[in-house]
Amino acid sequence: MSRERIDRSLLFVPGHKPERFDKAAASGAHAIVLDLEDAVAPPDKVAARDQAAAWLASGRSAFVRVNAADTPWHTDDMRMLAARPSAGLMLPKANAASMTRVLQALPQRRSIALLETVAGYQELAWLAVVPGLERIAFGSVDFAAETGISDVGEALTAVRTQIVLQSCAASLAPPVDGVSLSFTDFTVMRDDARRSRLLGFGGKLCIHPQQLAAVHAAFAPTEAERDWAARVLVAFEASRGAATAVDGRMIDKPVVDKARRLLAESALGAL
C-alpha cells in the first residue's frame, strides 16, 4: 500500500480574503481550496483570482475552485492556473465534457470534479473515467437545491452510493463528501463525517476550521478497529495464510486486506 495519506479534510477559503490563506494553510486541513466561485461575488472575481495567483506564486500548494466552464471568468481562471503548476484544480458543475477540456488544458495536474448538478450525475460513469481525473467531490448543497431532495438522514444516500461505486470502478481516489453546514457542534459534525466514511467516502469538504477535528476523528480508525485489525493479522499469520476465525467470524484474504488498510491508515495518521 502507498504511504501517501488520503486528504480527509479539504477546507474552502474565499479567494477575496487573502488574509485567511496562511491561516488556512496552518489550520491542520489536509488540503485547502482557494475558492474563486461560490464564495466570491461577481464584482470581486478578478481581485480574488489575482490574490490567489499572488499567494501561489511562491510555489505554495492548494486546490483552486475555478468558476464553472460556462461563466465569463472561467477562461482567465484557467490561464492563471496554467502559470501556477503547484496548484490543483477543482471544477464546479463538472460533467464529462467540461472535465475533459480542463484536464486536456492542464495535463498531469491534481484534479477534483465537483459533482453538484443532475446533468453531471447523469454522466457520472463517464465523468469517473475522464483521463487524468484524481477524485470526485459531491456538491451536496447545490445538488439538493436543484433537485429539491433535502440532505437530511438517508435522503441522498442513493446518490452518494453511486458516487462511491463509480469512483471505485474507475480506480479513482475515494470521493469527498459535501460540506456540513454546522460548525459549532462537534458531535453533529463528527457523526455526519462518520456517515460519509461508512458509505465509502474518503473525506469531507469543510467550510470552517472548527470542522477539521471532527472530520479527522471520524475518519481515523478507532482503538477498537486497530485492536481488531492487529488480532486479525496475528491470527492470519498463525494460520499460515489459511482461512481462520477471529471473534467467531471467518477471516480470509479480503478481511485481512481490510485489516492491513486500517493499520496503514492509523500509521499514516501519525505522520
Residue 87: which CATH number? Answer: 3.20.20.60
Whole domain around residue 106: which residue ranges? 9-219
**Amino acid 116: pLDDT:** 97
Same domain, 258 and 127: no
Residue 2 belongs to a domain:
no
Residues 133 and 72 in one domain: yes
* 15 φ/ψ angles, rounded to the nearest 5 degrees: -65, -20
Does one domain contain both 52 and 112? yes
Asked if residue 239 and residue 142 are part of one domain, the reply reads no
Please report whether residue 63 resides in a domain: yes
CA dist., res. 46 & res. 75, Å (int): 12
In a domain, 244, yes or no: yes
As for how many domains the chain has, the answer is: 2
The answer to whether residue 3 is domain-embedded is: no
Q: Would you state the pLDDT for residue 267? A: 67
The answer to whether position 132 is within a domain reads: yes
Quickly list DSSP for 13-67.
EETT-GGGHHHHHTTT-SEEEEESSTTS-GGGHHHHHHHHHHHHTT---EEEEPP
DSSP H or E stretch at residue 8: none
Q: Is residue 33 part of a domain?
A: yes
pLDDT digits (tens, 9 = 90+) for 108-154: 999 999 999 999 999 999 999 999 999 999 999 999 999 999 999 99
Instruction: Note whether 193 and 128 are same-domain residues.
Output: yes
Phi-psi group of 175: left, alpha or beta (phi > 0 → left; psi -120 to 50 → alpha; rest → beta):
beta
64 occurs within a structural domain: yes
Q: Report the pLDDT value the prediction gives residue 139, as an integer from 0 to 100.
A: 98
For the chain, which ranges sit under pLDDT 70?
A: 1-4, 266-271
Is there a domain that residue 261 lies in? Answer: yes
Are 229 and 148 part of one and the same domain?
no
Shared domain check, 207 and 227: no
For 225, half-sphere exposure in the C-beta direction (CA atoms, 13 angstrom radius) is: 15
Is the domain of 168 the same as that of 198? yes
Asked whether residue 173 falls in the same domain as residue 258, the answer is no
Whether 60 and 81 map to the same domain: the answer is yes
* Shared domain check, 151 and 55: yes
Cβ(53)–Cβ(83) below 8 Å: yes
> What pTM, to 2 d.p., does this model score?
0.87
Say if residue 122 is in the same domain as residue 245. Answer: no
